[in-house]
Amino acid sequence: MTEPIVLTSDSPILDTLNFKPYRNTSIRKVKPFLPGPNEPQTLEVKTPWGATLTAKRGDMLISEIDAPDDVWPIDPEIFDKTYMMTEPGVCIKRAVVMLVPLVEITKGDADQKVTIETLEGPETVRAGDFHLAKGIRGEIWAYPNEKVKDKMRLVE
């Protein structure tokens, strides 16, 4: 079995990829992660594809309204710049997300594993099941193909 390809936000290959702008169309739930002084100051969050992300005190915990168990942490500064609150505990993403199919990195090999070094920790995914997302600070993460199809719209 081949080793995963490892991507960081400063990997040179990112400059060669054909990222396209997308806008998310879904409404999301949000709550800040604010543990008490005697509680653990980090929270391990499991993604549906098995990655473990680490939320730090002050991070925002986001989930889709229709998938409340699919939770992921977002840095509070990035949240403030990219999301808009629509009512208490509810938000929409206003920023455009740049996406490219991960198979562009693997030269079409859908089964190749790719490890993406996100702000919240590494996640290893099968290239054929994900896009690579890039945010406003150049941060990267895996974005499921199914969500691209169901929740994202290409910005013309």
User: Block means of pLDDT (10 residues each) for the chain, length 156 residues?
Assistant: 92 97 95 97 91 96 91 96 96 96 97 97 97 96 96 94
In angstroms, the CA 14 to CA 134 distance is: 9
Q: What is the pLDDT of residue 49?
A: 84
Residue 99: alpha-carbon gap to chain centroid: 11
Number of structural domains in the chain: 1
Q: What is the pLDDT of residue 1?
A: 60
Domain that holds residue 131: 5-154
Q: What is the pLDDT of residue 37?
A: 95
Judging by beta carbons within 10 Å of its beta carbon (0-12, 13-18, 19+), is residue 55 exposed, middle or buried? buried
Q: What is this structure's pTM?
A: 0.86
